[in-house]
Amino acid sequence: MASDLMLIPHVIIVGAGSTGAATAHDLALRGLRVTVIERGEVASGTTGRNHCLLHAGGRYCVTDRESAIECIDENMILRKIMPDLLELNDGLFVALTEADLAFKERFLEGCAACHIPAHDIPVKRALAMEPFLNPSTLAAVQVPDGVFEPFRFCLAFLATARLHGAVVRRYAEVTDFISSGKNVTGAKLKDRRTGKSETLGADLVVNAAGPWAGEIAAMAGVSVPEVPTAGVMVALDCRLNNMVLNRLNKPSDGDIVVPQRATSVIGTTSWTVKDPDLISIPPEHVERMISQGEQLLPLVRKVPMRAKMAVARPLIARRGEDARKVSRTFECFDHAADGANGFVTIAGGKTTTARAMAERVADIVCDKLGIATACRTRDLPLASYRLFYQ
Amino acid sequence: MTSMKMVEVPLQIFRYKEGERPHYDTFTVQVPETAHVIDAMDAVWAMHDRSFTFRRACHHSSCGSCSLRINGVEKLPCITRVTDVWDGRAPLRLDPLRNFAIVSDLVVDVSSFFQRLSAAGMAITRDAEPSLPLSVDGLAVIGVSPKPVELPENLSCFNRFENCIECAICMSACPTMATDDKFLGPAGLAAIYRARQKTDNPIDVAHLLGMADGEHGVWRCHSAFECTAACPQAVDPAGKIMALRRELIGRRFKKR
């Protein structure tokens, strides 16, 4: 029995954000031995501090159709596999200016091209649904946006992965990789609970460290074309909207208000950072969130702020490109060609598409390890997130 | 970039690593005047000591993971401003939650909390109120009265997450926990109350009320109301415990 178990390939996943969590679930379900290494709590990096928007894809349907299609497809899958973990109240794309209004036709065309169900609803109806929406709204288009909680989202994937044998090591930090010739054969870690160092062997390592993927890749002697791009979000002391409110225009700063539980969260700004570990929040970004947010919901400025947060997103691009124009899609990098066989990076993307990212990287992992099992994560409902801690 | 007014805040942090003696370490960090306590903790980790462990995810009181004690009082550091809890002189003391085993520094093992929540079986989502705005602390803050909302044609109701964010603050603040380690606790009993409100199925109701009426249920509570005082989401667990008691008593009288 024990010797049979040793024949099953062992995969180390670096990072327990949404990508690492979904990848652990996918690989464990395909029968692999999986260990997730995370230096902090689950979702303590980029995933935890995200806007909580379950994208319908409308945000990208004009500028980045590949991302838009990924979003709507994954949106529908997540409704099936984690139905109890979502606030499903749809979203509105709202026109406030003539320029917004002029964007509507392109938006509706984009939605149609990306099979996003979109309904141009009368302004009077929109105001009855959202009584605090700007009364000078000129048009409103309803799409199937939703809201998730990123922490519980990850816990559900990891709880299910653990039921299938995965091991999740929190407060364990990767300090280096070990290799034999050009093959990466394991990782060195430091357990922050004990201060002890150890070595863990692996047949393959998946780098799912989000904006820290470059740092992790450097330990394996390879690089990832990633640009850590920070964003500021502001959470209010009141929930002013039931539905996600988006500005009907190309993506820009402060153009979304995502409601959740008893708060509304305005986001985001976007600027490139060197070190994703410590991001200080520029006060003028907070003010920009309030001044943009109050265009959609004029009450925004009257409501006390409950919290403000900033975190780096892992966008893929070359330095120097405008961060807003960088595609929000994801990419897998098999570093075998760069001299690190058995080391794969999954980078970019967003929490809404984490399951699809996991499917793609798990396909590559299984291909490299000679395993022919197909992905089963599209239909299998996840276990209760509460089981993660039991 | 506009200049930020900075403050230098000393933090006295509880430290524990497996096999070592617990102690306090003091770090002084520079943070913006508007910073929350979690930002100061982040600065300690990033600038001073990478072995410092704490739990966090959302930074806006939704995930419930960063709960701890600030100067002895249970708080969420993500929504607690440094200047609201620091007197400007003595170090701000950070301790882990009480009534849980300590894993490392400020990280505690919350498995006993989630076992209770699982037993209660309350779904984390619910039907929404038919009006907006909604606030944890009541709407007096902005002086706007709630307005009714209409539903989109395709939805039978709006839905939303339960107010309880499962931060376990109530279990730390509860004095009864120390007298019975199997006590279902404030969040557990509040979840039983919410699950009971959501069902009329007699079998489910009997099961839920049976748990509440049991040896480790509502009668253990000493009515200290510390849970309600500490809850950052105005769940009022103590009020829910009293409501369960009322229903249980009512049912006993009915039977006779």
Minimum Cα–Cα distance from B37: chain A residue: A307
Residue A1's CB: how many other CB atoms inside 10 A? 4
Paired tokens of A126: 């929109």
Min Cα distance B117 → chain A (Å) is: 8
Scanning chain B, the segments in alpha helix (DSSP H) are 37-43, 82-85, 111-120, 169-173, 185-197, 202-213, 226-230, 237-255
* CA angle, B183 then B58 then A330, to 5°: 130
For B158, which of A85, A89, A387 is closest by C-beta distance?
A89
| Domain identity same for B76 and B142 | no
For residues A311 and B58, give the distance between their C-alpha atoms in angstroms, rounded to a whole number: 10
- Give yes or no: residues B182 and B149 share one domain: no
Tell whether B234 is covered by a domain. yes
- Put simply, the answer to whether B150 touches A49 (Cβ < 8 Å) is no
Cβ-based contacts of A198 with chain B (< 8 Å): none
Query: Of A149, A240, A242, which is closest to B63 when you measure between CB atoms?
Result: A149
Q: Which residues of chain B have pLDDT under 70?
A: 1-2, 139-141, 255-256
CA distance A272 to A73: 29
Strand partners, B93: B12
Task: Pick the closest to residue B231 from B136, B139, B141, B142 (CA basis).
Answer: B136
Q: What 8-state DSSP symbol labels residue B33? A: T
> In this prediction, does ipTM exceed 0.95?
yes
Residues B115 and B206 in one domain: yes
Pairing mode, if any, of strands A244-247 and B68-70? unpaired
Give percent above pLDDT 70 in chain B.
97
DSSP B81: B
Residues B142 and B213 in one domain: no
Closest by Cα among A215, A266, A247, A285 to A45: A215
Assess whether B199 and B245 both reside in one domain: yes
**B1 inside domain:** no
Query: Do A152 and B151 count as a contact with CB atoms less than 8 A apart?
Result: no
- CB-based contact B60 A84, cutoff 8 Å: no
Q: Which residues contact A276 (CB under 8 A, 6 or more apart)?
A: A45, A46, A210, A211, A212, A228, A230, A311, A312
* Secondary structure string (H, E, C) spanning chain A: CHHHHHHCCEEEEECCCHHHHHHHHHHHHCCCEEEEECCCCCCCCCCCCCCCEECCCHHHCCCCHHHHHHHHHHHHHHHHHCHHHEECCCEEEEECCHHHHHHHHHHHHHHHHCCCCCEEECHHHHHHHCCCCCCCCCEEEEECCEEECHHHHHHHHHHHHHHCCCEEECCEEEEEEEEECCEEEEEEEEECCCCCEEEEECCEEEECCHHHHHHHHHHCCCCCCEEEEEEEEEEECEECCCCEEEECCCCCCCCEEEEECCEEEEECCCEECCCCCCCCCCHHHHHHHHHHHHHHCHHHHHCCEEEEEEEEEEEECCCCCCHHHCCCCEEEEEHHHHCCECEEEEEECCHHHHHHHHHHHHHHHHHHHCCCCCCCCCCCCCCCHHHHHC
Our count of domains for chain B comes to 3
pTM of the full structure? 0.97
Contacts of A125 in chain B (CB under 8 A): 150
| Ramachandran assignment for A157, one of left (phi > 0), alpha (psi -120 to 50 degrees), beta (any other) | alpha
Q: Say yes or no: B17 and B45 in one domain.
A: yes
Q: Are residues B60 and B89 located together in one domain of the fold?
A: yes
Residues with Cβ < 8 Å from A77, sequence gap 6 or more? Answer: A355, A378
Indicate the Cα dihedral angle A318, A321, A325, A331, nearest 10°. Answer: 0
CA distance A389 to chain B (A): 5
CATH number for B251: 1.10.1060.10
Domain architecture of chain A: domains with CATH: 2-46+151-225+328-389 (3.50.50.60), 90-145+227-316 (3.30.9.10)
Characterise A370 by phi-psi region: left (phi > 0), alpha (psi -120 to 50), beta (else): left
Nearest CA to B83 among B3, B29, B9, B141? B9
In a domain, B143, yes or no: yes
C-alpha–C-alpha distance, residues A101 and A105, integer Å: 8
Beta-bridge partner residues of A259: A264
Q: What is the pLDDT of residue B143?
A: 83
What secondary structure letter does DSSP report for B25?
E
Cα B117 to Cα B195: distance, rounded to the nearest angstrom: 11
B183 and B237 share a domain?
A: yes
CB-side neighbour CA atoms (13 Å) of A12: 28
Taking the CA of residue B83 and the nearest CA in chain A, the distance in Å comes to 14
Query: What's the distance, CA A23 to chain centroid?
Result: 13
Domain with B92 in it: what CATH number?
Answer: 3.10.20.30
**Which parts of B129-174 fold into alpha helices (H)?**
169-173
In this structure, the answer to whether residues B208 and B151 fall within a common structural domain is no
> At a CB cut-off of 8 Å and minimum separation 6, what does A320 contact?
none
Residues 6+ apart with CB under 8 A from A167: A34, A35, A36
The alpha carbon of residue B247 is apart from the nearest alpha carbon of chain A, in Å, by 28
Residue with tokens 């899958």: A77
Chain A / chain B CB contacts < 8 angstroms: 209
Beta strands A53-54 and A146-148, pairing class: antiparallel
In order of A65, A149, B18, the CA distances from A270 in angstroms are 21, 22, 41
Residues pairing with A200 in the sheet: A187
The answer to whether the Cβ–Cβ distance between A242 and B18 falls below 8 Å is no
Residue keyed to tokens 């009450």 = A299
Which secondary-structure segment (H or E) carries B127? strand B125-127
Give residues with Cβ within 8 angstroms of B229, minimum separation 6.
B173
Q: Other C-beta atoms within 10 Å of B17: how many?
A: 18
Flag residues of chain A having pLDDT under 70.
1-6, 318-328
Contact B150/A129, CB-based, under 8 Å?
Answer: yes
Instruction: Report how far residue B239's alpha carbon sits from residue B20's, in angstroms, rounded to the nearest whole number.
Output: 41
A236 alpha carbon, distance to own chain's centre: 22
Partner residue facing B160 (CB), from A48, A87, A193: A87
**CB A213 within 8 Å of CB A20:** no
Whether B135 maps to a domain, the answer reads yes
Domain of residue B143 covers 126-161
Distance from the A280 Cα atom to the nearest Cα atom in chain B, whole angstroms: 8
- Within this chain, do residues B19 and B146 fall inside the same structural domain, yes or no? no
- Co-location of B79 and B184 in the same domain: no
For residues B86 and B33, state if they share a domain: yes
**Residue of B2, B59, B60 with shortest CB distance to A263:** B60
Are A150 and B58 in contact (CB < 8 Å)? yes
Look-up of token digits 């500490």? B230
